[in-house]
Amino acid sequence: MKVKIRNANEMDLENIANIYVSSWKKAFSKFLLKNTINKLNVLEKQQFLKDILLEKGNILIAENNKNKEICSYIVYENISKNSIEIISFYISPLYVKENVANQLLNNLKLYCKDNYISNIVLWTFRNNKDSINFYKSLGFYETGFERQSNIEIGQIEVQYILKNI
C-alpha cells in the first residue's frame, strides 16, 4: 500500500491519539495490569502529542494515499548530535500488515542521513515480544541497557539501537 509521509499538524492530533491508545491497549494488554491499561485515554495522549508538536515538531505520520487516513506515526527527539530517540511508534491495527511502518521508518532514516544522525534509539518493554521481533526485523538490536518503567512498577524496559544509518 502506498502512503504519504509528512510532518503532523495540530489537525492530526486526535487521530494520532486514537491510534496511540488503541495500539497501546492491544499490544500491552498481554502483560500490563488491567488498571494500567484502563488509565490510558485519548484526551491525555492528545495533549501529550500537542506539547511535543508545539515544542519540537517531531511527529511523522503515514497517511493512506486513497482515503487520507492516518495509518502510523513516529514521535522522535534528538538526544545528541548524532542520535535520535523514538518516543512513540505505533501503527493503526487496521494497517499492521500493510508495510506502512517500514515506509515511515525509511523516511525517518532519510531525515537522519540528511542531518548527519547515525543512530536511532528506542526503549520497549522486555515482555513486548511482538514489538521486539518487529524492531529486530528492521535492523535494531538490543544494547544491554535496561531501566525500570515509569508506566508500571515491576516492568522493565530494554533499549534497542539502529546504528550507522
d(CA 136, CA 134): 5
What pLDDT digit, counting tens, does each position of 75-134 carry? 999 999 999 999 999 999 888 888 898 899 999 999 999 999 999 999 999 999 989 999
- So what's the pLDDT on residue 10? 94
Number of folded domains that form the chain: 1
Domain that holds residue 54: 3-163
Strands 156-163 and 3-7: unpaired
- So what's the pLDDT on residue 159? 97
What pLDDT digit, counting tens, does each position of 35-91 carry? 888 888 899 999 989 999 888 879 999 999 999 999 999 999 999 999 999 999 999
CATH number for the domain that contains residue 128:
3.40.630.30
- So what's the pLDDT on residue 17? 95
